[in-house]
Amino acid sequence: MQRSRQSSTLPRLQRTVGSEALLKGIGLHTGYPANLLLVPAPENTGIVFRRTDLDNFRIEAKRAHVARVSYATTLMKKGVMIATVEHLLSTLYGLGIDNLFLDLDSMEVPIMDGSGRHFVRAVERAGIREQKALRQYLLIQEPIEVRQDGKVAGVYPDLQPSATYLIDFAHPAIGTQEIHLALDPDSYRREISPARTFGFVSDVEYLKQSGLIRGGSLDNAVVLDENGLVNNHLRFPNEFVRHKLLDLLGDISLVGYPIVGRLHAEKAGHAIHTALADKISRSFHKCRICTLPELEAALPIETAS
Burial level of 193, CB count in 10 A (0-12/13-18/19+)?
Answer: buried
Average pLDDT over residues 16-43: 96
Rounded CA gap, 38 and 121, in Å? 12
Domain with 95 in it: 2-303
Distance of CA 134 to the CA centre of its chain: 22
**Catalytic residue flag (residue 243):** no
Confidence (pLDDT) at 3:
40
Task: Output the domain CATH number for residue 169.
Answer: 3.30.230.20
Lowest mean per-residue pLDDT among 34-48, 54-68, 163-177, 208-222:
208-222
Q: What is the CA radius of gyration of the chain?
A: 19
Confidence (pLDDT) at 119:
98
Segment (H or E) for 291: strand 287-291
Residue among 118, 264, 270, 273 flagged as catalytic: 270
Confidence (pLDDT) at 8:
52
Average pLDDT over residues 113-139: 98
Confidence of residue 211 (pLDDT cuts 50, 70, 90): confident
Rounded CA gap, 50 and 39, in Å? 10
Q: How many domains does the chain have?
A: 1
Residues 245-273 have pLDDT tens digits of 999 999 999 999 999 999 999 999 999 99
Confidence (pLDDT) at 300:
60
pLDDT at 210 over 90: no
Lowest mean per-residue pLDDT among 73-87, 204-218, 275-289:
204-218
Confidence of residue 108 (pLDDT cuts 50, 70, 90): very high
Q: What percent of the chain has pLDDT over 70?
A: 95
pLDDT at 120 over 90: yes
- What mean pLDDT is reported for the chain? 92
pTM of the model: 0.93
Q: CB 219: neighbour CB atoms within 10 A?
A: 12
Choose among 52, 56, 122, 54: nearest CA to 87: 122
Confidence (pLDDT) at 258:
98
Confidence of residue 201 (pLDDT cuts 50, 70, 90): confident
Confidence of residue 214 (pLDDT cuts 50, 70, 90): confident
Segment (H or E) for 122: helix 117-126
